[in-house]
Amino acid sequence: MGKRLHLLSPWAGLWLAVAVMPLCSTPSTGQPQPVHPPLPTDELPVRRQHKFHDKLPEKSSVPPRFEVPAGALGYSAPGTFYLGRHNSLVSLDFVDENRLLFTFQVRGLMNRKVEESSGIDKRQVRAVVVTLPDGKVEAEAQWTLHGRARYLWMLNDGHFLLRDLDKIEEGDSKLQLKPILHFPGRLLWLELDPALRLIDTNFIQPAAPRKASNVEQSSATAKDENTNGLNLDVVVRTLNRESGQTVLENKVPLTVPSPISPDGYQEAETAMLAGMFRHLQLPINSVAYLQALREKENSDLWRLNLKHFSGGSKELGRLQSKCLPTADFISEHEFVVTACTPKGGWHLVAMTTGGRRLWDVEASTHEIWPVITRSPDGSRFARQTVFLNHSVEDTSRPLKAEAVNGQMLKIYDAADGKVALEAPVSPTFDAGGNVAISPSGRRVALLNGTAIQVFELPAPASLPVPGH
Q: Got the DSSP string for 114-157?
A: PPTTT---EEEEEEEEEETTT--EEEEEEEEEESSS--EEE-ST
Q: How far apart are CA 333 and CA 281, in angstroms?
A: 19
**110: number of CA atoms within 13 Å, CB side?**
15
Please state, as a whole number, how many other Cβ atoms lie within 10 Å of the Cβ of residue 423.
24
Question: What is the spatial distance between Cα 224 and Cα 257, in angstroms, rounded to a whole number?
Answer: 8
Question: Residue 112: what are its φ and ψ, rounded to 5°?
Answer: -65, -25
Q: Which amino acid is at 306?
A: L
The alpha carbon of 226 is separated from its chain's Cα centroid by a whole number of angstroms, namely 34
CA distances (Å), origin 268, targets 230, 239, 260, 283, 359: 11, 22, 11, 21, 37
Query: How far apart are the C-alpha atoms of 189 and 203, rounded to whole Å?
Result: 7
pLDDT for 4: 58
96 with 111: CB under 8 angstroms? no
- φ/ψ (deg, to 5) at 82: -85, -10
- Residue type for 430, please? D
pLDDT at 6: 56
Q: How far apart are CA 69 and CA 130, in angstroms?
A: 11
3-state DSSP percent of the chain in helix, strand and coil, to 5? 5, 45, 50
Distance of alpha carbon 464 from alpha carbon 356, whole angstroms: 10
How far apart are the C-alpha atoms of 349 and 362, rounded to whole Å?
9
* 118 neighbors 146 (Cβ within 8 angstroms): yes
Are the beta carbons of 287 and 266 closer than 8 angstroms? no
Question: What's the CA gap between 416 and 356, in Å, rounded?
Answer: 13
Return the CATH number of the domain spanning residue range 5-22+44-209+221-456: 2.130.10.10
Q: What's the number of CA atoms in the CB half-sphere (13 Å) around residue 282? A: 23
Alpha-carbon distance of 255 to 6, in angstroms, equals: 5
Please give the pLDDT value at position 399: 67
Q: Is the dihedral of CA 133, 136, 141, 144 positive or negative?
A: positive
**Those residues with Cβ within 8 angstroms of residue 299's Cβ, 6 or more apart along the chain or in another chain:** 35
Residue among 408, 413, 434 at smallest CA distance from 423: 408
Rounded to 5 degrees, φ, ψ at 73 are -95, 0
Backbone angles phi, psi at 270, to 5 degrees: -65, -40
Integer CA distances (angstroms), 332 to 96, 205, 416, in order: 21, 31, 16
Structure pTM? 0.84
> What is the pLDDT tens value at each position of the chain, 468 positions in all?
455 565 544 333 332 322 223 333 333 333 333 333 333 333 434 444 445 567 788 899 999 999 999 999 999 998 888 888 899 999 999 999 999 999 999 975 444 454 444 446 789 999 999 999 999 999 999 999 999 999 999 999 999 999 999 999 999 999 999 999 999 999 999 999 999 999 999 999 999 775 554 444 444 444 444 446 889 999 999 999 999 999 999 999 988 888 888 889 989 998 898 877 767 778 999 999 999 999 988 889 999 999 999 999 999 999 999 989 999 999 999 999 999 988 778 899 999 999 999 999 998 888 889 999 999 999 999 999 998 887 777 666 666 777 888 899 999 999 999 999 999 999 999 999 999 999 999 999 999 999 999 999 999 988 766 655
Cα–Cα distance, 466 to 334 (Å, whole number): 9
End-to-end CA distance of the chain: 34
What pLDDT shows up at residue 359?
95
For residue 432, which of 387, 383, 388 has the smallest C-alpha distance? 383
| Rounded-to-integer distance, Cα 93 and Cα 298, Å | 41
CA dihedral 200, 205, 207, 209 (to 10 degrees): -140
Secondary structure class of 187 (helix, strand, coil)? strand
Q: What are the structural domain ranges in the chain?
A: 5-22+44-209+221-456
- Which residue in 443, 452, 409 sits closest to 96, CA to CA? 443
pLDDT at position 55? 77
Q: What is the distance between the alpha carbons of residues 230 and 218, in angstroms, rounded to a whole number?
A: 11
Sheet holding 346-352, edge to edge: 46-47, 357-363, 346-352, 334-340, 326-331
Going by C-beta distance under 8 Å and a sequence separation of 6 or more, which residues neighbour residue 34?
A: none
DSSP summary character for residue 55: S
